Amino acid sequence: MRLHLFIFSFLLLLAGLLSAGGCATAVSAGQNTALDGTDLVKMTDDMSAKIMASPAVQRQYAEHGPLKVVVMAVENQMRAEILPRGPAEAFTARLRNLLSKHTPTQFTWIMNRDAFYRLRNSELPVDLGPSPDAINPTHALTARFSSLASEDATHRDSYYLCVYELTNLTDRTILWTGSYEVKKTAVKGMFD
Amino acid sequence: MTRLLSSAIAALLLLLVAGGCVSEQERQASAAVADYFSGNLAAAAARLQPLAQNTDSNFVLNNARLGSCYLAMGKLDEAEAAFLKAYEVINSLGVNNGGRSLGAVLVDEKIKIWKGEPFERAMVNFYLGVIYAMRQDYANCRAAMENALFKLQEYQDAKSDQFKERDSDFAIAYLMLGRCFQRLGRDDLAQANFDAAVRVLPSLAPLADLRLQAQSNVLLVVEVGYGPHKVTDFDGSIVGFAPTPPQQGPVPWPMTYVDGRWAAIPGIHPPPLDLLALAQERRWQSIDTIRAVKSAVGTGLIYGGAIYGAAAANRRNGMSSQDALVSAAMIGTGLLLKAVSQADVRQWEMLPRSIYLIPLHLAPGTHQLSLRFPNARGLDYTWNQLSVPEHGDVTFYLRAHPAAPNMAAMPR
């Protein structure tokens, strides 16, 4: 009788494992050390608050009126982390959106040429703003993401430094700079 | 209780047998692979597209297959999207933790989400790098190649105090990294990567030359042959890769002609990558032993059950129902263990055996480019309108395959 119980329990356990194994999908399980949506929100919220509070930016606005800013995609200097075009643009586009919303009079935003013509050709219903050929930007909003990454038999670590800069294109001076840092670690499992 | 037990065993056996049958999805994937190798890339992509949306255990595999199709078709945006999906899951750790790992060990290895062998993971990154090189996005090409190297890096004992990274065997990624760093204005890092390529494969010395690579404004990425395939031993519990390089023979080597003239490029042969050789280094396999033990215990239980039954039947008073049950349970459990010790043989079939990197220095304008493979039949390619820009460089991808003469992605 004990043997029966043992075999029956074993079968139940196997059935349980089979069903448990099927719960998580390939994209819902696991952890990644890449920058994600949470970083995007935290980083751009932080940067927009800092840029709005910058005395240099305020002084420039007071002296010359709205800053005509061209927005560039993020420059990827990260080790072993791909930053596709979409996310590379999102990290500066969200900052632009936040600043447009909170300080609509201080900045005139100009899309960079590549993004402008690509979006115009895509015929997506997006407000592209003025054509980059119609208006000369006075400032550039750029971002540069760097990282130190390492991977070994047990885990993967990534330390990110994301630097944003608002540069005066007339005299090539940096009007404002801000940075965001984050460290991420993911531990390897049996089949990693 | 006996009836319940028998039904449970029968049901589980049925489940395992059913699990072993080829599903409709697997049939579609096999048909797509056949389409790919017959040169019908559009049909292969159409079959794989719905499969690649499904976030099941074959998600990475089907996206890698789909990426191969699109890359050979020259559809770079689609290829990038497919490879990126695979890349994200490959880079996620702990995807198979919990029930999946336990299920894969105890029940069926195919339960686990396929992330590929390390060389397959490296190839997903390599192809992404090639796509970015074709778009002249050298920052992302660099990142992809660095990640490819991570996937094939060797480590000394991680628990040891003297933990140290070793060079990866993936010489081709070092070469590509060198080119990327050159184009990003970092000649110092370019040189370091060319040096690493030569350390891994000394025959690459003429190709891993800073000046040669700096002057080259056209790069041909040429794939030939068939990648390794998984094979199992007699009872399916031990898996290996076949064929070995000696079994397959020499790699077809290309001769390049520009505007009808042979372009002598030093160091392009032997190729910087031979996946048949790389696959033989199966240092990363972790559950071969578990499967072998399950299989051995299964065999023991089958023999043990049979012997126990035979001994009981030979007793003077014959076999009791209890003896019959014990014997049947041992044989049944043994069969179950044998059934669940089958190796996972899923693999990325589209991979080539070798990849050549051919750097050329051509004058801006339109050129006729031919590639001939003297030691392989049916591999002869000519492009009459290869456009070389005034500034910058172009990367050109070709999957050389006798049944499919048009598997090439033109530079954009």
pLDDT digits (tens, 9 = 90+) for B177-234: 999 999 999 999 999 999 999 999 999 999 999 999 999 999 999 999 999 998 887 6
pLDDT of B350 above 80: yes
Least confident of B219-228, B251-260, B279-288: B279-288
> What does the block give as tokens for B6?
């028998």
| pLDDT value, residue B412 | 40
Looking at chain A from residue 48 to 67, which residues have their Cβ under 8 Å from any Cβ of chain B? none
Decide which of B250 and B110 is more confident.
B250
Task: Using DSSP bridges, classify how beta strands B380-388 and B261-263 pair: parallel, antiparallel or unpaired.
Answer: unpaired
Q: Chain B closest CA to A70's CA: distance in Å? A: 21
pLDDT of B285 above 70: no
Element (H, E) at A164: strand A155-168
- Could you give the dihedral angle defined by the CA atoms of residues A103, A109, A111 and A116, in that order, rounded to the nearest 10 degrees? 100
| pLDDT value, residue B299 | 86
Of A7-16, A126-135, B165-174, B294-303, the range with the highest mean pLDDT is B294-303
Q: How far apart are CA B101 and CA B94, in angstroms?
A: 9
pLDDT digits (tens, 9 = 90+) for A60-107: 999 999 999 999 999 999 999 999 998 999 999 999 999 999 999 999
* Per-residue pLDDT band at B18 (split at 50, 70, 90): very low
Indicate the burial class of B334 (C-beta count within 10 angstroms; 0-12, 13-18, 19 or more). Answer: buried
pLDDT of A50 above 90: yes
Looking at chain B from residue 363 to 392, which residues have their Cβ under 8 Å from any Cβ of chain A? none
pLDDT of B9 above 60: no
Partner B contacted by A86 (CB < 8 A): no
Q: How far apart are CA A134 and CA B337, in angstroms?
A: 73
Q: How far apart are CA A65 and CA B269, in angstroms?
A: 63
Q: B92: nearest CA in chain A?
A: A32
Q: Chain B closest CA to A118's CA: distance in Å? A: 13
Q: Which residues of B touch A31 (CB under 8 A)?
A: 92-94
pLDDT digits (tens, 9 = 90+) for A134-160: 778 999 999 999 999 988 888 889 999
Instruction: Supply the pTM of this predicted model.
Output: 0.87
Partner B contacted by A36 (CB < 8 A): no
> What does the block give as tokens for A163?
């630097």
Q: B333: nearest CA in chain A?
A: A7
Least confident of A119-128, B47-56, B104-113, B396-405: A119-128
Decide which of A121 and B201 is more confident.
B201
Q: How far apart are CA B262 and CA B257, in angstroms?
A: 4
Q: What is the ipTM of this complex?
A: 0.85
pLDDT digits (tens, 9 = 90+) for B123-160: 999 999 999 999 999 999 999 999 999 888 765 554 54
Q: Chain B closest CA to A101's CA: distance in Å? A: 32
Partner B contacted by A76 (CB < 8 A): yes
Looking at chain A from residue 149 to 168, which residues have their Cβ under 8 Å from any Cβ of chain B? 149-156
Q: A154: nearest CA in chain B?
A: B158
Select from A15, A23, A31 the Cβ nearest to the Cβ of B92.
A31
Partner A contacted by B136 (CB < 8 A): no
Q: How far apart are CA A69 and CA A50, in angstroms?
A: 17
> What does the block give as tokens for B54?
């499904």
Q: A147: nearest CA in chain B?
A: B143
Contact B91, A80 (CB under 8 A): no
| pLDDT value, residue B8 | 52
